Structure 1
């Protein structure tokens, strides 16, 4: 049976209310649940929370953006920002779009597939047009070299 953190917190709280010590609670949970039981540090931490009057057994909400910040609208906005200015920084993208630094990094690397090279963002994979432009430029340079042009 897989018990959640809230289930274990309920058991810890029950033992706390019954007057058991932290070590007694740890021993009971280890005996009953073996490796599934919370660590000693977790049990001691929750006992201290209960002593302070904390009685909510659920996780407190954390600050920060949810994973929904990576929407198609945000991805296309990041794409537009880096197309307008290839030297834009993470901080500038974050400030202009109001998303977290981790989201900026995930969008750039995982969604758009770009990386920073010599202070410019370049795509990992080139489009067909970009490949043809590079081939034309290389041919021009080879022609210059073969003609011995400086």
Structure 2
């Protein structure tokens, strides 16, 4: 039973002339263990004695507890997408909410965590993995156009673009540690050849 319904019963019994003790006994006989406490019955009987008519709770001062709304979550998500290096403090100032709430939204609602000063999703979704595969495929194609191969050692004239592309491939496909090791080795060798 809702607390408003209990209050209505308390008001009815109070208006019949019952005392708080009699009201509590009546509620216990009907509702058993789910009946409100004697303190609650006594409080509401006193309120009705003072002339209160409403059964609703009074308005409370302060900020509403509904800061974590879908609208606010979407705004925080957009702020993070616009600038992955944004600080919690900056988001809190922009959104006019506490840093604790911003952290809750980022960690619990959006599943993000701070990694190397960037906000990233906690776990890669299937969409993220597909995007990484598409990027690495495009980068492999670009490396092939430039004539570089991870299987061959870099030659004199290896450009900065080669190094950048190989580093991007290593990052995009970092799920495979062996492949990432090959990319890092090639990257180091390419830098050595390019700058000697």
TM range (shorter): 0.5 to 0.7
CA offset at residue 19 of structure 1?
3.4
Tell me the equivalent position of 2:148: none
Q: Structure 1 14/119 Cα, relative in aligned 2: closer, same or farther at 3 Å?
A: farther
Q: Which has the larger radius of gyration?
A: 2
Tell me the equivalent position of 2:28: 30
Write the distance in 1 (CA, Å) between the matches of 2:51 and 2:118.
Answer: 53
CA offset at residue 114 of structure 1?
0.5
What are the ranges of 5 or more consecutive residues in structure 1 without an aligned counterpart? none
Q: 2:38 aligns with which of 37, 40, 50?
A: 40
CA offset at residue 22 of structure 1?
1.8
CA offset at residue 56 of structure 1?
0.4
Query: Does residue 4 in structure 1 map to residue 2 in structure 2?
Result: yes
CA offset at residue 110 of structure 1?
4.0
Tell me the equivalent position of 1:108: 106
Q: 2:172 aligns with which of 99, 108, 132?
A: 132
Write the distance in 1 (CA, Å) between the matches of 2:84 and 2:172.
Answer: 23
Write the distance in 1 (CA, Å) between the matches of 2:107 and 2:91.
Answer: 14
Write the distance in 2 (CA, Å) between the matches of 1:142 and 1:45.
Answer: 76
CA contact (8 A) 2:67 2:97 kept: no
Q: Secondary structure at the match of 1:38?
A: coil
Aligned pairs for 1:118-129 within 5 A: 120-126=118-124, 127-128=128-129, 129=132
CA contact (8 A) 2:92 2:99 kept: yes
Tell me the equivalent position of 1:69: 69
Q: Secondary structure at the match of 1:122?
A: strand
Tell me the equivalent position of 2:161: none
CA contact (8 A) 2:84 2:119 kept: no
Write the distance in 2 (CA, Å) between the matches of 1:75 and 1:106.
Answer: 10
The aligned length equals 142
**TM-score normalised by the chain length of structure 1:** 0.66
CA offset at residue 104 of structure 1?
3.7
CA offset at residue 31 of structure 1?
0.7
Render the CA deviation track for 1:81-108: whole Å, top value 9, x for unaligned.
223153511x532331346767645542
What are the ranges of 5 or more consecutive residues in structure 2 without an aligned counterpart? 136-170
